[in-house]
C-alpha cells in the first residue's frame, strides 16, 4: 500500500488534483480541502514526493484563487438577494462577516479560513460590502498560505512521529484535521454571538 501511495504522490497530477480540491472547497463546503492538504503533507514527509513546500504553495495558491473568486462573486452578483441566501442562518452569517470585515478584516479572514461556512461567508461578504481589493487581497493571500502551511505541517508532523508507514500517518493526519474542525465547530456553536 505504501508503494501505491508513494507512486500516486510522485505523479505530477497529485498537485493538480490537490489544487482542484482546495479551489472547489471555496464554493462547496463539503469538499475536504483541508483533509487533502493534510494528507498530502503527510505523504510528502513519508516519501519526499511531492515536496512539502510544493504542497504548501499549491494548496495556498488554490485557496487564495478560490477566495478571490468568491470575493468577485460577492462584488458582482450581490449574494444577499439570492433565494438560497434568504435563510435566516445564512443572513446572520453574512451580517456577522460584514461587521467583522469593517472593524477587523484580518482577524475575520484568518478566522474564517478554519470555519467551514465562514470562509465562504466572509469572502462573499467582503465582495458584497465592497471591501477595497487592495485591502482584502493581501490579507486573503497571507491567510491562504498560512492555512495551507498549517494543514500541511500537521500532516508532516504526524508522518514524522507516528510509526507504521504512510497509510497510518495519512489516517492519523486526517483524523486530527477532522477533530480540529469539529472542535472549532463545537466551540463556536456554544459561544453566543456578540451583537
Break the chain into its structural domains and give their ranges. Answer: 2-190
* Contact between 94 and 53 (Cβ < 8 Å): no
Residue 88: alpha-carbon gap to chain centroid = 24
Tens-digit pLDDT profile for residues 112-150: 887 777 788 889 888 888 888 998 999 999 999 999 998
What are the start-end ranges of the H helices in the chain?
Answer: 2-10, 13-25, 33-47, 52-77, 88-103, 105-112, 116-128, 133-161, 165-190
pLDDT (0 to 100) of residue 195: 45
Quote the CA–CA distance of 83 and 35 in Å, as a whole number. Answer: 31
* Per-residue confidence band for 194, with pLDDT thresholds at 50, 70 and 90: very low
Amino acid at each position: 500500500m505504501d508503494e501505491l501511495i508513494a507512486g500516486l504522490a510522485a505523479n505530477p497530477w497529485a498537485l493538480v488534483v490537490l489544487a482542484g480540491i482546495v479551489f472547489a472547497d471555496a464554493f462547496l463546503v463539503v469538499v475536504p480541502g483541508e483533509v487533502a492538504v493534510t494528507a498530502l503533507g503527510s505523504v510528502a514527509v513519508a516519501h519526499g514526493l511531492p515536496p512539502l513546500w510544493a504542497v504548501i504553495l499549491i494548496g495556498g495558491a488554490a485557496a487564495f484563487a478560490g477566495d478571490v473568486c468568491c470575493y468577485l462573486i460577492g462584488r458582482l452578483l450581490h449574494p444577499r438577494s439570492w433565494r438560497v441566501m434568504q435563510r435566516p442562518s445564512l443572513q446572520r452569517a453574512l451580517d456577522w462577516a460584514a461587521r467583522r470585515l469593517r472593524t477587523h478584516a484580518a482577524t475575520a479572514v484568518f478566522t474564517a479560513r478554519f470555519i467551514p461556512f465562514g470562509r465562504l461567508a466572509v469572502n462573499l461578504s467582503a465582495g458584497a460590502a465592497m471591501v477595497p481589493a487592495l485591502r482584502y487581497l493581501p490579507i486573503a493571500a497571507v491567510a491562504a498560505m498560512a492555512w495551507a502551511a498549517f494543514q500541511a505541517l500537521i500532516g508532516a508532523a504526524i508522518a514524522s512521529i507516528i510509526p507504521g508507514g504512510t497509510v497510518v500517518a495519512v489516517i492519523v493526519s486526517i483524523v486530527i484535521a477532522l477533530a480540529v474542525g469539529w472542535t472549532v465547530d463545537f466551540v463556536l456553536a456554544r459561544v453566543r454571538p456578540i451583537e
